[in-house]
Amino acid sequence: MTAESCGIGEQRVAGLASLIGGKARIRGWLYVRNTVGKLVFLRIRDSTGVVQVVVKRDMVGEEVFNQVKRLRRESSLMVEGLVRKDARAPGGVEVQAEKVRVLSPSLEDPPLRKNMSPEAVWKYRHLFIRSRTMNTVLKLRSSLSTLLRQWLLDHGYYEVSAPSIVTAATEGGARMFEVSYFGKKAFLTQSSQFYLEGAIFSLEKVFCFQPSFRAEESKTRRHLSEYWHLEVEACYMDLNQLLQLEENMLTEVVERFYEKHKEDIERFNPGFRPFEKPFKRITYTRAVELLRNSGVEIEWGRDLGVKEERLIAVKVGQPVFVTHYPKETRAFYHMPDPENPSVVLAADLLVWPYGEITGGGQRIDDYNALLNRIVESGYNPEDYAWYLDLRKYGSVPHSGFGLGFERLLAHILRLPSIRYAVPYPRTQTIVYP
C-alpha cells in the first residue's frame, strides 16, 4: 500500500451526504456485491457506515470491472468517484465509481452469514466484530467507558492502576484463577478493591477501570470469566453517601449517554429510559418479607439468587438498592451495622434482567475488628498483613463500590447476554480467539 492510498483527502462514509455533487475517495471493505448486466453494485462499509457504489464497465475499464465482478465479501478496496443523491440507497447517497483499487482481495468467502449459530459467532469472533451490530456495540462501549471515567475525574477522583496478579482473594478463594508465578502460586485478581483502599491514604478519592477475573462455573448471561470492573473508593464516606455517589454517577452518565446516542440505543432497546433519581431502596430484611409475601420460601440469612433478585426488581421497581445484608452473605471486610451487627453496611444495585450491577459498602476501618473478622471467616491473617496495615497507620472511615461494566452496557442495550457487550468474551467455554 502506498502512502497515497492510506492518506490525506479521503472521506468517511458518514460524511458523504455533505459532498453531494462533488468527488470523494473512500476506503473500506466489501459488504455486499450485486451484478446487474453491465453494472456492479457494491456496498462498502467503513468504521462509520455503509455506502452504495455503482461500478460501470465504461468508467473503470474492462480489467478492473472484471476484477470487481468477482470480488469476495470483506475484500478491502478504495473507490474514487462522484457522490450523488439517491433516496433508495443506504444513507441517501451513492458513489459513481471512477476509479476502483482493490487493496487486498479476500482469499476465501468469509464465514459470516446473516443468522449465524452461537457457536460460529464465538468461533469467528475476530471476524464477527466487523458486523454492523458489533460495530455499534463497540462504539457505544467506548463512549460509555469514557463518560464514566470523565464523570469520576470531574468529581475529584484520580484514576489509579492495580496489579492483575495478586496473592490473596477478595471475594472468596473458590473462583480464582491460579497462575504459576516464578514457581510460586499467585492468582488473577477478582477485584482491585484492596489496592484502591491502599491508594485512598494517598489520593483520598480514587477509581480504577480494568479487568477482574472470576473462574465462574455457572453459564449465565451475566457472568464472564474476565470482565471490566469499574471500582471506586473514597475516604470519609458512609453507606448513605456511597449510595448517593452511585446514584448521581449512574443517573448523570446514563442520561448523557442516552442523549448522545439516542438513535443507536433505541434501535437496540426501544423501551429504554434513563435512570431516575432517587433509586429505590430496600433492606435485605424487608426484601425477605416481600419475597415471603409473594410466596417465595427464603430463610433469613441466605443470599439472594437470580429468582429473588428478579422479583425484587419487578416488585419494588428498578434500579433498586438492596442494603444491610446478613454478615454471613458478604466478604469479611464489610462494616457491621452498629445498630444491628448481624447485618453489614453493604448494598447491591439490582436491575432486571442483569441482576446485580454494582456491589459495595462501608469497609471495616478498625484494626482489631478487621483482624477478628478475618479469623472468624477462616482466613489466615498473614495473607492479609498488608491489608491490615492500612488500619494500623492512620485509618479513616471509607467506602467503595464495584460496577460490572458489561452488565451496565448490556442492560442499557438489552443485549441477550453480556458476551455481546465485549469484543472478545472469556467464559468457561470461550477462550479462543
Tell me which residues touch Mn ion (CB under 5 A).
Answer: 359
**Which residue lies nearer to Mn ion by CB, 81 or 359?**
359
**Which residue lies nearer to ligand ATP by CB, 90 or 301?**
301
Which parts of 169-198 interact with ligand ATP (CB under 6 A)? 171
Q: Which does 319 bind (CB under 5 to 8 A by kind): ligand ATP, Mn ion, none?
A: none
Which of 351, 404, 422, 425 is in the footprint of ligand ATP by CB under 6 A? 404
Measured CA to CA in angstroms, residue 310 lies from 103, 297, 302, 304, 330 at distances of: 51, 15, 16, 10, 20
What burial letters (b/e) apply to 138-149, b meaning 16+ CB within 10 Å? eebbebbbebbb
Q: Is the distance from CB of 40 to CB of 69 less than 8 angstroms?
A: yes
**Which residue lies nearer to Mn ion by CB, 46 or 348?**
348
Count CB neighbours of 4 within 10 A.
Answer: 11
As a whole number of angstroms, the distance between CA 250 and CA 274 comes to 9
Contact region for ligand ATP (CB under 6 A) — 64-72, 97-105, 178-186, 353-361?
353-361
- Exposed, middle or buried: residue 396 (CB in 10 Å: 0-12, 13-18, 19+)? middle
Helix (H) or strand (E) holding 158: strand 158-159
Which of 49, 319, 359, 400 is in the footprint of ligand ATP by CB under 6 A? 359
**Which residue lies nearer to Mn ion by CB, 49 or 359?**
359
* Contact pattern for ligand ATP over residues 26 through 65, marking x by CB under 6 A: ----------------------------------------
As a whole number of angstroms, the distance between CA 347 and CA 239 comes to 8
Task: Single out the residue of 163, 161, 223, 209 nearest to residue 188, CA to CA.
Answer: 163
Q: In what order do the strands lie in the sheet with 184-188?
A: 165-166, 184-188, 178-181
**250 near ligand ATP (CB under 6 A):** no
Q: Which does 189 bind (CB under 5 to 8 A by kind): Mn ion, ligand ATP, none?
A: none
- DSSP category for residue 67: H
Q: Which amino acid is at 281?
A: R
* Contact pattern for ligand ATP over residues 363 through 402, marking x by CB under 6 A: ---------------------------------------x
Q: Is the distance from CB of 106 to CB of 74 less than 8 angstroms?
A: yes
Which of 49, 198, 355, 425 is in the footprint of ligand ATP by CB under 6 A? 355
Report in angstroms how near the CB of residue 336 gets to ligand ATP at its nearest.
18
Report in angstroms how near the CB of residue 64 gets to ligand ATP at its nearest.
49
* Contact pattern for ligand ATP over residues 194 through 223, marking x by CB under 6 A: --------------------x-x------x
Which residues form the interface with ligand ATP (CB under 6 A)? Answer: 171, 214, 216, 223-224, 227, 229, 355-359, 402-404, 406-407, 418
